[in-house]
Amino acid sequence: MLKQLFFIFLFFLSAISFAQDLTVIQKYPETAIPGGDYVVETTVKRSGITGFMKFFQGVPSGCTAKVIESKGGSFSFDKGGAKIIWIALPAETEFTISYMVSIPKDIEGIKNINGKLSYMVNNERKVYDLETKTIRIGVNVIAAKTETVLVTGSDNTIITESPTLN
């Protein structure tokens, strides 16, 4: 019985030590203004993954992307998306990359954006699909700018904030 427990323990220990965990968290805006820019931040948390990795995320048709932070990877804007390739990953097990998307003035609509991270584990290609993001460009978009409006009544004064259009 003790031998069986020992082998079970070794099995779980080896499974844990060879486990590859990958978590991706993105900051992606819900709205944007034609003729403007927006920033996409992606935080990658990895465990047990080393070596090659490729990040790809589409951008709305007609838009372009420029690197802000690639954490040592090679950035390119190709085939309608932002791409970063690492031959060797950063030393940190958690790192953040970012890029800026520039929107032409004539682009509007609701756009669904897909992406993925591809990486290698034991010479086997793995793919992590990013959560689909939706961005509304110029369609009934209220800018995030606010202004303070002073409203006075006969017996009190109220200060409120309300959204305004740019």
**Domain map of the chain by residue range?**
20-139
For the purposes of burial, counting CB atoms within 10 Å of the CB of 30, is it exposed (0-12), middle (13-18) or buried (19 or more)? exposed
Residue 137 · residue 109 · CB < 8 Å: yes
User: What is the per-residue pLDDT across 56-99, written as a single tens digit (0 to 9) for each?
Assistant: 999 999 999 999 999 999 999 988 999 999 999 999 999 999 99
> 10 Å Cβ neighbour count for 99?
23
Q: What pLDDT, on a 0 to 100 scale, did the predictor assign at position 123?
A: 87
Q: Does position 114 have pLDDT exceeding 60, yes or no? A: yes
Residue 28 backbone phi and psi in degrees, to 5? -135, 130
Is CATH 3.40.50.150 correct for 20-139? no
DSSP state of 34: T
CA 14 to chain centre: 32
Q: What pLDDT, on a 0 to 100 scale, did the predictor assign at position 4?
A: 54
Q: What pLDDT, on a 0 to 100 scale, did the predictor assign at position 141?
A: 60
The two tokens of residue 139 are: 């369609």
pTM exceeds 0.75 for this model? no
Which amino acid is it at 129?
Answer: D
Residue 103 backbone phi and psi in degrees, to 5? -105, 125
